[in-house]
Structure 1
Amino acid sequence: MKSGKRNNKPKGNKKKKRIKSNRNRLQKSVMGGFYGVAAILTAVVLLHHNPLADQVTEVMKKVMACLLIAFTSVIFGIFFDRLMVLPKELYQSRRLIWKLAKNDFKKRYAGSYLGMVWAFVQPVVTVVMYWIVFDRVFDTRSQLVAGGIEVPYVLYLTAGLVPWFYFTEALTNGTTALLEYNYLVKKVVFKISILPIIKVIAATFIHIFFVCVLFVIAIAYGYYPSIYTLQIFYYSFCEFVLVLAISYVTCAVVVFFKDLQQIISIALQIGMWATPILWDISVLSDQMKPFFKLNPMVYIVNGYRSAIYEQEWFFEHFYSSTYFWIFTVTLFCVGSLIFKRLKVHFADVL
């Protein structure tokens, strides 16, 4: 019996060493991949040249982009272990997340006569009302956008409203995820980190419907799907990651500061007018444009329009794409750290 116990110890130690070795190998691979992408981005920034841009402005953009990449790389290296906790939990619980997201979407309208139809009625009514006011009452039949392209205003408007509705729905529900599922938060064995992403995925189901509506409107006006249209998937993914990053911050803070829900509601109203949804960013002066472009939703909204009718690739807007991803990844890292720091107190407060 003693010899048997002695023989089991080396086997257990070997297994632990193998697991630790695999973990270290995975960590090196992830960090190597991240720093590799950072190096490639830095090289592209330095080599990228726009002959039409002012040289001083171009140099300033290059310096800012390189500093942002360097800062993000340093933060990623310092907090790697902490930052990877949340992605690991989400990956390990992927099947449960998908199941709960579908249930969340279904139960929201359970018991009503029209059921899930209500999920689509309000945004459709909003689009129709804007169309009646601007297209019929004020006779704004077309919108002149950057590059001298004239597009039907209803298409221009819908291409801006569709991503904004998604952002509003996902952020509002993601913020209250812990409050709504407080009975799960109190369970010791449940991974509460999956709750915000459940709400964001549930909002994605509605978003898919409105993307289809956007395609129908585009086809009705003669803008047929092309290879550029596939970018809708890219920009939808961008928005998914952005709203998820914000939700991890807001859902953690709102547990301790309930007024945040009202603040977010007001901020979304202001944000709709600060984002070029009803208007085009080309009407702004050159001095004002950089300030408005700090809003990451400007990148998303313009991206949807590029995919539908402008026929431009996302990498043609290199600096905007670089800024968006650095901003979003940094925000996601900050959100995951805040969530991890505060989650030990959630059960006590709720």
Structure 2
Amino acid sequence: MRSLLQIMKDHIRNFYLIIRLSVFELKSSSNNLYLGMLWEVINPLILIGIYWFVFGMGIRGGEEVEGIEYFPWMLSGIIVWFFISQALLQGSKSIYSRIRIISKMNFPMSVIPSFVITSRFYQHLILLGITIIILAFSGYTPTVYSFQLLYFMAANFAFLISISLITSTLATIIRDIQMVVQSVVRVLLYLTPILWTTDKLPAAIRGVLKVNPIYYIVEGYRSALLGTNWYFIDHFLYTAYFWGLVLALLLIGSVLHMKFSQRFVDLL
């Protein structure tokens, strides 16, 4: 618990620095491109079109999902996946890929995964705005349920930071961890009901799939954007499980980071 409290203090003290570094990270990632940061939107939109054509029109034949057209249903889930996948990949290599430069600066290394994740969050906000406009034209205008989107953004951030504290620490010690993370992220796209539904699966298998915390976040985003229900209230036990898991991951990540952070430079 002491390690977690220390990392929380580091984040509070360096909040302004995290924001500045995240903006710099976003700009530097697209400096050499003619269209610059536009690619942060263009690439996801291309993938959305491909996924809709293959899964919506091809595999499902335009079939609705619980009375909701496939495209709005898929869109409301895939936008959060773009953020999660990039944050997991970039967060896992955030420390070892910058440690030679950052080790010469005077701020805690625990904030490195956080500003990297925050830099991906800006893209997420733009895509979210585009999604809300598209859904409005499709008949899914914002409702009172839309307010829970703020909650699920915060929940998503907490989950990503907790995971990245673990993976960024382990990947600095054992570089193979980065390859493991890449493989797991590829698999998670198809183990999470983002492009497909679980309605034809047995109840036991659906329960196993819900062990995946990304399932909770994706379904929460859908409930908010499509205006179906208060997901975090109607699924209270699932909410309790999610936050219990996030807290456990934060504790593990904090202990690992505080134990090895002083040795990071020596491991290079």
Equivalent of 1:347 in 248, 265, 268? 265
- Say whether residues 1:197 and 2:114 are aligned partners: yes
Contact between 1:82 and 1:337, CA under 8 Å: does it hold in 2?
yes
2: CA distance, partners of 1:129 / 1:169 = 19
TM-score scaled to structure 1, two decimals?
0.73
Mapped pair 1:114 → 2:35: yes
The answer to whether residue 224 in structure 2 is matched with residue 304 in structure 1 is: no
Q: Distance in 1 between matches of 2:218 and 2:149?
A: 11
Q: Is 1:243 matched up with 2:160?
A: yes
C-alpha separation in 2, matches of 1:191 and 1:344: 10
1:337 alignment partner AA: V
- 1:169: Cα distance to partner? 0.7
* 1:292 equivalent in alignment to 2:213: no
Out of 254, 276, 291, the residue aligned to residue 193 of structure 2 is 276
Aligned to 2:126, which of 209, 225, 242?
A: 209
Segments of 5+ residues of structure 1 without an aligned counterpart are: 1-78
Query: Quick check: 1:336 aligned with 2:254?
Result: yes
Counterpart residue type for residue 21 of structure 2: L
Check conservation: 1:142, 1:151, Cα contact below 8 A: no
State the Cα distance separating 1:319 from its structure 2 match. 0.6
Confirm or deny: 8 A CA contact 1:184 1:190 kept in the other structure. Answer: no
Task: Give yes or no for contact 1:254–1:260 (8 Å, CA) kept in 2.
Answer: yes
For the 8 Å contact 2:76–2:221, the answer to whether it is kept is yes
1:229 to 146, 154, 163: 146
Q: Does structure 1 residue 180 correspond to structure 2 residue 180?
A: no
Matching residue of 1:46: none
2:53 to 124, 132, 135: 132
Cα separation, 2, equivalents of 1:259 and 1:120: 30
The SS at the match of 2:104 is: coil
Shift of 1:233: 1.5
Q: CA deviation at 1:282?
A: 2.8
Q: Is the 8 A contact 2:146 2:227 kept in 1?
A: no
Letter in 1 for 2:70: Y
> TM-score, normalized by length of structure 2?
0.95
Q: Which runs of 4+ in 1 moved over 4 A?
A: none
In 2, the alpha carbon distance for the partners of 1:277 and 1:337 equals: 33
User: Post-superposition shift, 1:324?
Assistant: 0.4
**Aligned-residue CA RMSD in angstroms?**
1.5
Structure with larger RCO (C-alpha < 8 A, sep 6+): 2
Q: 1:35 aligns to what?
A: none
Give the gaps of 5 or more residues in structure 2: none
Aligned length: 267
Aligned residue identity for 2:50 = M
Post-superposition offset of 1:139:
6.2
Measured after TM superposition, the shift of residue 306 of structure 1 is 0.9
Letter in 2 for 1:277: I
Percentage identity across paired residues of the two chains: 27
Instruction: Give the whole-Å Cα distance in 2 for the aligned partners of 1:90 and 1:139.
Output: 45
CA distance in 1, matches of 2:236, 2:40: 36
Letter in 2 for 1:299: Y
One-letter code aligned to 1:156: W
1:91 aligns with 2:8: no
1:342–1:133 Cα change, 3 Å: same
1:102: how far off? 0.5
2:135 alignment partner in structure 1: 218
Counterpart contact for 2:114–2:161, Cα < 8 Å? yes
* Paired residues of 1:140 and 1:153 also in contact (CA < 8 A): no
Change in Cα spacing, 1:231 to 1:140, as seen in structure 2 (3 Å) is farther
C-alpha separation in 1, matches of 2:240 and 2:59: 38
* Bigger CA radius of gyration: 1
